[in-house]
Amino acid sequence: MDFSFQFDWQAAIDSIPFLLKGIPYTLLISFGGLLIGFVLGIFFGLLSINKKWFLRWPATAYIEIFRGTPILVQVLFIFYGLPDLIGSPINPLTAGIAAIALNSGAYISEVVRGGVQSIDKGQTEAGLSLGLSRSQTFWSIIWPQAFRRMIPPLGNQAIVSIKDTSLFSVIGVGELVRQGQIYIANTFTAFEVYFVVALLYLAITLSLSMILRFVERRGLASV
């Protein structure tokens, strides 16, 4: 049997315009979900360190549920399961954004918790001694320092969420992988197409990594 294989560069190049159509969906789902996830992360992250148990426990439950279950199961539940409860179908794009938001929000909650708790308690005492309220002390002194420490893990979560969008082809979202599947169904050039898909994901994540390193250096320089 002949197992020889020759990479078809022309097929790879020809697929690029079609695959590029999936990038806006990939970025919309990723950053739309991350923006909502960041808000959820701040909210539940701060609740998780609250001294009142009836506020802390719901936050802990949310974090553990969405960190302890696969995002693929979450998006399938949102897209196929929730319509049975609400009696209305959910748009695939909406389901993808919701899944990224809820999943990333749980991980960002832990980032927020760790960032805030890493700041020395003496900072709070210093703010209170200056006559600031606890709220003013937190948002003026604690949060800016904690946020600078959160930048690297927040960047890592953004990259993970971008790659997670590749799973949403199962619900028909027209992101990169879904575009690749459609193209392969018509051309039967799976190896070349998935090679280009991987390169496009790499280009996105490397670009984001460079931006985050720049932001991190600027943040550290301002300390």
Give the pLDDT confidence score for residue 6 in this predicted structure: 83
Q: Report the Cα 142 to chain-centroid distance in Å.
A: 25
| Whole-prediction pTM | 0.91
Question: Smallest Cα–Cα separation from 25: which of 209, 183, 185, 200?
Answer: 200
pLDDT in tens, the chain (223 residues): 556 678 889 999 999 999 999 999 999 999 999 999 999 999 999 999 998 989 899 999 999 999 999 999 999 999 999 999 898 999 999 999 999 999 999 999 999 999 999 999 888 888 888 888 888 999 999 999 999 999 999 999 999 999 999 999 999 998 999 999 999 999 999 999 999 999 999 999 999 999 988 887 776 555 5
Give the pLDDT confidence score for residue 7 in this predicted structure: 86
Give the pLDDT confidence score for residue 93 in this predicted structure: 94
Return the half-sphere exposure (C-beta side, CA atoms, 13 A cut-off) of residue 9: 0
Query: Contact at 8 Å (CB) between 113 and 49?
Result: yes
Give the pLDDT confidence score for residue 72 in this predicted structure: 96
Domain ranges of the chain: 19-221
CATH number, domain 19-221, options 2.40.50.100, 1.10.10.10, 1.10.3720.10, 3.90.1150.10: 1.10.3720.10
